[in-house]
Amino acid sequence: MCRCPHRLVPNVATLHDYRVTILPQHPSDGTGRRRPSLVVSRATRILADAGVESARAEAELLAAHVLGVPRGRLALADDFTGEQVDRFDALVARRAEREPLQHLTGVAGFRHLELLVGPGVFVPRPETELLAGWAVEQVGGHPAPLVVDLCAGSGAIALAVAQEVPAARVVAVERSPAALPWLRRNAAARAAAGDRPVAVVEADVTDPDLLAELVGSVDVVLCNPPYVPLGVTVPPEVAGHDPAEAVFGGVDGLAVVRPVVARAAVLLRPGGVLGVEHDDTHGTTVPELLSADGRYVDVVGRSDLAGRPRFATAFRRADGPHAAAAGTWQTGSS
């Protein structure tokens, strides 16, 4: 889940320059109701002035949220009532103060899912959908893959894999007492919707004995760890609302990545695969860590849709002194 500043925040003045308390009166048709197009246009200007990227899209999403309609049907929606205008204005004011959109609506979209999010859990980012999609490609042809998602947070990666690969057994690992309730709620909701239940494990991914019962049997290990180096300036949505322990990964950003690389090699069966997201400054560093470990082959650094280094993948060796005794499996995708 991308925590990089260049995507989320433009170069703008301080938030206090755009503090919003009351929005100007919206034009109406004389009945006290407000047309969605006018309401959205005024909100767009306010959000743009506050430095919010994609201001129009976010204004439309907030409007759709208040009206209880999909964004694509906003043009066909009934006019805002006075009460709805007040509620919408309050949400726009909070967004102008750079409270995350997802905290205001209570949900975050991720691939084909809508996940509950809020204070205490990291908001999943679109960039991480690429890692989840890569994992789905890896296990799509396997009859009963075992997939482990480390640093699961809201459960975005784990639940996406479980939904898209019904045969998969998925384990989601998270240690944060604040994030775990969100993970469990999302897992319960997806199970109720008919997806195969995801096993939630409360544990520290840096524990050298993590998931000891699964050693040598895991087909895919995935991880979106905290990876921003300490001291890096992050967008106000991240700095003020995402949990610091889910964002920052030590002085060099690799404090969690290193033990994950080591433990994944123990958990994976020979021929199993690892995918780990990383900071865009680690485009060579993380692949080098994987290669230097000695237990991985076919190490590949992968970019996001903007061309920035985003995650690295590797196969567990199936031969040589570092190979384990278990059987192997591979797919045609790497």
- DSSP-assigned letters across all residues of 107-144: EEEETTEEEE--TTSPPP-TTHHHHHHHHHHHHTT-SS
Q: How far is C-alpha 96 from the chain's CA centre?
A: 22
Kindly give the parts of the chain with pLDDT less than 70: 1-32, 320-334
* Together in a domain, 86 and 112: no
Alpha-carbon gap, residue 91 to 64, rounded angstroms: 12
Specify whether 74 is located in the same domain as 134.
no
Domain identity same for 82 and 133:
no
180 domain-assigned = yes
Residue 126 marked ligand-binding: no
Per-residue model confidence (pLDDT) at position 299: 98
Could you tell me if residue 328 is inside a domain?
Answer: no
DSSP H or E segment with residue 86: helix 82-96
For position 320, what pLDDT does the model report?
Answer: 58
226 is known to lie in a ligand binding site: yes
111 and 71 in a common domain: no
Boundary residue ending a domain (96, 121, 148): 96
Number of domains in the chain: 2
- Amino acid at the residue 19: R
Task: Based on the fold, state whether residues 140 and 283 are members of the same structural domain.
Answer: yes
What does the pLDDT read at residue 32? 57
Domain boundary among 96, 120, 137: 96
Point out the domain boundary residue: 77, 96, 115: 96
pLDDT at 33: 72
143 is in an annotated binding site: no
Shared-domain flag, residues 110 and 242 = yes
Domain coverage including residue 62: 20-96
Residue 15, domain member (yes or no): no
Query: Is 225 part of any known ligand binding site?
Result: yes
151 plus 283 within the same structural domain: yes
Is residue 174 a known part of a binding site? Answer: yes
Same domain, 293 and 156: yes
Considering the domain architecture, whether residues 183 and 278 belong to the same structural domain is answered as yes
